[in-house]
Amino acid sequence: MRAWVELIHYLDAAQWPERNATGEVPNVTPFGIDELSRHGVDVAFRKVLKGRVPNAVARRVRDRAEGLEWVEALASQYNPLRRSADVVLCWDEYTGIPAASLPGGPPVVSGVQLLTDPEARTPQFLTRARKALGRMEAVFVQAQGMIPVLRDEWNVSERKLRFVPFGIDADWFRPIDGDVDRDLVASVGDDAHRDHETLIKAVADVRRRRPGTRLELATQLDVDLPGELGVLHRGHLGRKRRQFYGQANVVAVATKPNIHGSGMSVILEAMACGRPYVVTASAGLEGYLKHGHDGLVVPPGDVDMFASAVGALMADPERADAMGKAGRARLERELTTDVQAQHLAEVIKEVARPR
């Protein structure tokens, strides 16, 4: 069985193995999609557009179509590998909606990551999206909070909806060899549902009671982090991510209420690196967190509770290490890219066209 994979325009699967070999990125392919082959599904990836003019046209179309990748979809529509595949696999709605809208071809299985706000979309987008979602053979999500929204607000039949747990590369993300900095809190995040204001206030409160505590925050968002409280990192961390997580006593992620799983990848990466988390509870993270076992979960917007949780782990390094060890063990069992591939392969096999 073979899947033709269509990824968002800036992810070049052809370059991924080399980037992985140099230690720049985890997995041999984006999201570890190649691991589907371990579960009976071989993959072939759509190539990224080449040339200045095609990319300029595609960019203008995306800008006018609220991110939908129509040019990229049309460019690969008649590729022999696509036409002969058993299924077209798209990782998100920006590739999935165009793929499902094209006539003919294999059945489409698409992930949906951010369709949480139909009220914020244009009528044209809503019409196209709902029609395309109805044509898909299966729609998978990696945040369980998305299921009722897709069912009730986007009119996706419940029989098509599947939950596929998100996974990460547990070989690439692993505990570091060096010492843990017992004064360090680390955090990463750029999406609109991050609540860095609460995070910074909470760490400042911990520092008042425990001098020496500091925060290292990697984000592109506009935040005010006083120099005496910590360091702001701009730009992608790349190969530094393992060290960034692994040297921290605690990895902390504060978010606003959301259903798409803001903070999911950071929490799993911290677990893989053997560090405990403090994170805001949200519907999007349901099923990924285990409060008191591998981290601490606090209510949204509560600076005092967030500070109390961070402070408790900063004051008890043995507890922090034990949680980190437990998180690493649970991730190896439940939340790797191989586990993700196993679940996704089951979805693909359910809908692949018969031979």
**pLDDT tens by residue, 191-240:** 999 999 999 999 999 999 999 999 999 999 999 999 999 999 998 888 89
The pLDDT of residue 114 is above 90: no
Give yes or no: residues 119 and 209 share one domain: no
CB 296 within 8 A of CB 259: no
Two structure tokens written together for 31: 């999201």
Summarize the confidence of residues 241-258 as an average pLDDT: 97
Strand partners, 2: 42
Whether 137 and 6 share a structural domain: yes
Give the residue-averaged pLDDT of 252-277.
97
Token pair for residue 337? 């890219």
- pLDDT tens track for 133-179: 999 999 999 999 999 999 999 999 999 999 999 999 999 999 999 89
Contact partners, residue 202, CB within 8 Å, separation at least 6: 252, 254, 303, 306, 307, 310
Instruction: Clarify whether residues 260 and 280 are in a common domain.
Output: yes
Q: Check whether 30 has a pLDDT greater than 90.
A: yes
- Which helix (DSSP H) or strand (DSSP E) does residue 347 occupy? helix 337-351
For the chain, the domain total comes to: 2
Confidence of residue 355 (pLDDT cuts 50, 70, 90): low
What is residue 165's DSSP assignment? -
Q: How do beta strands 42-45 and 87-90 pair? A: unpaired
pLDDT in tens, 291-322: 999 999 999 999 999 999 999 999 999 999 99
Same domain, 75 and 143: yes
Q: What is the pLDDT, as a whole number, of residue 235?
A: 83
The yes-or-no verdict on residue 118 having pLDDT over 90 is no
Tokens (6 digits) for 92: 């998100």
Same domain for 96 and 116, yes or no, is: yes
List the domain range (segments joined by +) for residue 91: 2-167+336-351
First to last CA, the chain: 9
CATH number of 14's domain: 3.40.50.2000
Alpha helices in 136-174 (DSSP H): 146-152
State pTM to two decimals: 0.94
Question: How far apart are alpha carbons 43 and 106 in whole angstroms?
Answer: 14
Distance CA 265, CA 85 (A): 30
pLDDT at 354: 65
- Point out which residues pair with 89 in neighbouring strands: 5, 109
pLDDT at 236 (0 to 100) = 85
Residues 141 and 12 reside in one and the same domain: yes
Distance CA 259, CA 272 (A): 23
Q: Is residue 311 part of a domain?
A: yes
Is the Cβ–Cβ distance between 256 and 279 less than 8 Å? Answer: no
By residue count, the chain amounts to 355
Among 260, 79, 269, residue whose Cα is nearest residue 186:
269
Residue 88 CB coordination number (10 Å)? 27
Rounded CA-CA distance 305/299 in Å is 7
